[in-house]
Structure 1
Amino acid sequence: MRDSSGTRPRRPLRRALLAAVSALGLAAAAATLASPSASASAPAPPSGWTQVFVDDFNGPAGSGVNTANWQYDTGTSYPGGPANWGTGEVETMTSSTSNVSLDGNGNLRITPLRDSAGRWTSGRIETVRTDFQPPAGGKLRVEGRIQMPNVTGTAAEGYWPAFWALGAPYRGNYQNWPGVGELDIMENVQGLNRVWATMHCGTNPDGPCHETSGIGNSTPCPNSTCQSGFHTYAMEWDRSVSPETIRFSVDGQVYHTVNANQVDATTWSNATDHGYFLILNVAMGGGFPDAFGGGLDGDTQPGHPMVVDYVQVLRSGGSDGGGTTPPPTGNRDAYSPIQAESYDSQSGTITEATSDSGGGQNIGAIANGDWALYKGVDFGSTPARQFYARVASGAGAGVSGLVEVRLDSRSNAPIGSFALANTGGWQSWRTVPANISSVTGTHDVYLTFTSGQPADFVNVNWFDFGH
């Protein structure tokens, strides 16, 4: 979706994108077919699969999204990132419920609007979590049940709805596309009855992944047009096979596959050896619509939303180390190690493999203002008075910060904290204690991070409490 280099995507009228594509089979493990219903709950995971994220977009009509799951992108670029989101699109993204809101019937609506001066606004949201990737030897499935904006012909010129994912290292950097990877699960332009799926990687322009176009394919939506009905768009990332494979499907019909051996090992590793975050947006204008006639002008009709019934992420098989660690389903024991990557939500961090004793993952890229939430931590009836965290830092000279513990709200005062500077490297681990105010009962625990400098200052592997 996004060429974050600042170069407008060429998106040429490629034969590969216009050829009729035969169905290659059903992703039966987790496929769900579109139905006439406008609102449906996310289906239960099939046998052998675990749900690690879901949003059914339930809530009062006119309300915003759940900010524990999603964060808004606003304006015309990321801070310091390429202008116009790197694609030449013309809208300003907002957090207004005029552009992004729930409809009260279990759906999210992202609606592009045009004011009397001809200026466009729309919506773009991305998951707070950035750790979606398959476990070693297992699979990850990302799917959304979506109706594209129900507008076609001249009135649809310039519309560009999308459901996609970006590599976690992009968050906070905004200059490392396409090397960190992008997986476009659903894109559409101009109200055409086609869905595009694309993997972006390597270097831009050209490179092993043929940027800025990427490695892509398209197909018509089955049974009903993409605009007239809901369809389930999915990406299944499979590390249980060799070569590693990423499959894209609509309503269970696989129409595009990218294998690791299609590019060199370094390019594939750079694009896949980390988590991803998910994005939903409707752009107006830009390089991709331009490749199919463009025409965003006074004839384009505003007010046609992309409607999203649900988004969910599933995982299957493999080992826990190196993959997404789902939050526990019950209360956490305050006195046993709580793995940092098992957060319920977070902001600003990434998940990465750790060389610490026991392996697994840590959260990193932590800087001032970042946080992570761990729900339902049970302290029991005997007061806890100590906090311990397994931390590491490769921060530069003069860079340090506080690791803080807050209960039940990020706006509550910390119950304790400790300061940390360079420990000898980002994988040079030590266990640091801190005194805390007495705590009993069950609480949601926030780890918050405060620093007087903008640079990253700490990694966290696990934490627990003591009496």
Structure 2
Amino acid sequence: MSATSGTPRARRPLRRALVAFIATLGLAAAAATVATVPANASAPTTPTGWSQVFLDDFNGSAGTGVNTSNWQYDTGTSYPGGAANWGTGEVETMTSSTNNVALDGSGNLLITPRRDASGNWTSGRIETTRTDFQPPAGGKLRVEARIQMPNVTGTAAQGYWPAFWMLGSPFRGNYQNWPSVGELDIMENVQGLNTTWATVHCGTNPGGPCNETTGLGNSTSCPNTTCQSGFHTYTMEWDRSVSPEAIRFYVDGVNYQTVTSSQVDATTWSNATNHGFFVILNVAMGGGFPGAFGGGPYSTTEPGHSMAVDYVQVLQASGSSSGGGTTPPPSGNRDAYSAIQAESYDSQSGTTAETTTDTGGGQDIGYVANGDWALYKGVNFGSTAATQFNARVASGAASGVSGLVEVRLDSRSNAPIGSFAVGNTGGWQTWQTIPANISGVTGTHDVYLTFTSGQSADFVNVNWFDFGH
């Protein structure tokens, strides 16, 4: 993406049911245009040697927007002061409306282009608030998403341009330094073709060492099912553990494009990669890339076909003498014995930050149900073992609905070191501090709060937690 050129989950609580039902009515047209969307497939288990540094599983009520702790909306037809039409000649106006960007209630994000009665197109474009995604020295970075492209082909697809891609962090706020700051296109598609393109952009425009505006790219068809008729996993793996440094692109685990640092001069490579990146998801309409394959959109182009995104995750592996990856040690930037605000998580799945009326104000994490979790990196317990866990919780769960708040160290798959059960406390903002005994803990660890229940309904909100001796 050249920067210049169903059924709601049962976990939804009654307090949100009416709002979600109304929103679902507005979303129905978008959902109907997506081929059968399976129950959401959560992000795969983190492989040995890797640590998860970002995850959005897009769980939430149908018709709601994205988690703005993770994402920010790009709106209008350009960045402030940037090139017109997003620099690519595309014709849509990007919005933050749930008519264009919304969760479907089944664990997917839908980005849906629309056309009004006057022929004007709108669509959606979001990018991560974080701009620091890069491999450590001698290590690796893996960025992947499970996506179904807009399920439309032929003349009805002319002008469609869905993409999953990354831009170098120096671009944010500058908007004039492309392509020197680097662009990594993990998945691009046009015109409903059964093809995914992967490209590295760098150097100068036009021409230069990276052949701009084309870039260093390659394409392939999607395995087994077409890109439009099924979900596929699109992955970029940036490997600094090898020489020359390599950036590899995959679809469903098949490597079809690799760019190495030896393909360009050292200055070009350094300018394009010696910094963090942010992730972008969008569906453009028209522009240079569709123009190379017949153009559009035209009057025969059908609006309303969504790109569906099941999850986006970012993994990191540190360097080692053997070239493999090991999980980097926690940084020790949190004090176990001071209140850790629940909404200050490093990563999470299934929760939503909301305003709290508890003493001190701020936010809590809410809508927490079975299988949800939150990660807090680098919690320092010191040399004297912590044996107590305290959490500030509230619940308006229905009669008979309860669950466990669990503490796990360093991996969600490790056994809990302690837990407590919680049910209705008198309301979703009726707070109690509940203690629990834990196995003695010293040193510095990543702390996971995990939530387990025999029911699918939401059962707890969490404001803060801490540990004691």
TM-score (norm 2): 0.64
Superposition deviation, residue 158 in structure 1: 0.1
Distance 1:275 1:233 in 2: 20
Aligned position for 1:244: 245
2:68 aligned residue? 67
Per the alignment, in what secondary structure is the counterpart of residue 261 of structure 1? helix
Give me the whole-angstrom Cα distance separating, in 1, the residues matched to 2:309 and 2:345.
25
Conserved? CA contact 2:331–2:377, under 8 Å: no
Pairs within 5 Å for 1:35-434: 37-318=38-319, 332-333=334-335, 344=346
Q: Deviation per CA, 1:250-274: give whole Å up to 9, x if none.
A: 0000000000000000000000000
Other structure's SS at 1:155 match: helix
Q: Is the Cα contact below 8 Å between 1:52 and 1:326 reproduced in 2?
A: no
Q: Deviations over 1:75-124 (max 9, x none)?
A: 00000000000000000000000000000000000000000000000000
Q: 1:45 to 1:70 in 2, by over 3 A?
A: same
Q: Distance in 1 between matches of 2:137 and 2:333?
A: 27
SS of residue paired to 1:289: helix
Partners of 1:228 and 1:76 lie apart in 2 by 30
Instruction: Note closer, same or farther for the CA distance 1:240–1:328 as it changes in structure 2 (3 Å cut).
Output: closer
Change (3 A) 1:203 1:38: farther
1:2 Cα offset (Å): 2.3
Please, what is the CA RMSD of the aligned residues?
3.1
Give the secondary structure class of the aligned counterpart of 1:268: helix
**Displacement after TM superposition at 1:297 (Å):** 1.1
Summarize the Cα distance change of 1:375–1:250 in structure 2 as closer, same or farther, 3 Å threshold.
closer
Which structure 1 segments of 5+ residues have no match? Answer: 9-34, 346-373, 381-441, 445-467
| Secondary structure, counterpart of 1:198 in structure 2 | strand
**Partners of 1:236 and 1:248 within 8 A in 2:** yes
Query: Across the two proteins, how many residue pairs are aligned to each other?
Result: 321
DSSP-derived class of the 1:269 partner? helix
1:335–1:262: structure 2 CA closer, same or farther, 3 Å change rule?
Answer: farther
Once the two structures are superposed, residues 293-312 of structure 1 have per-residue CA deviations (whole angstroms, 9 ceiling, x without a partner) of 11311100000000000000
Match of 2:122, SS state, is strand
Q: TM-score, normalising length from structure 1? A: 0.64
Q: Is the 8 A contact 1:327 1:344 kept in 2?
A: no
Does the 8 Å contact 1:164/1:278 carry over to 2?
yes
Q: Which amino acid aligns with 1:177?
A: W
Cα distance in 2 for partners of 1:277, 1:160 equals 19
Code of the aligned partner of 1:139:
K
> What amino acid is aligned across from residue 49 of structure 1 in structure 2?
W
Q: Could you tell me which residue of structure 2 aligns to residue 435 of structure 1?
A: none
Q: Which amino acid aligns with 1:333?
A: D
Q: d(CA) in 2 for partners of 1:329 and 1:304?
A: 44
- 8 Å contact kept, 2:132–2:278: yes
> Given the alignment of the two structures, is residue 3 of structure 1 paired with residue 6 of structure 2, yes or no?
no
Find the residue that maps to 1:52 and give its secondary structure.
strand
Distance 1:244 1:118 in 2: 46
Deviations 1:154-180 (A, max 9, x none): 000000000000000000000000000
The gaps in structure 2 that reach 5 residues or longer are 6-35, 348-375, 387-462
**Residues 74 and 95 in structure 2, CA contact (< 8 A), matched pair in contact too:** yes
How far the C-alpha of 1:73 sits from its partner, in A, is 0.3
CA–CA distance in 2 between the matches of 1:176 and 1:326? 32
Q: Which amino acid aligns with 2:334?
A: R
Identity of aligned residues (%): 78
- Return closer, same or farther for 1:58/1:265 CA change in 2, 3 Å cut-off: same
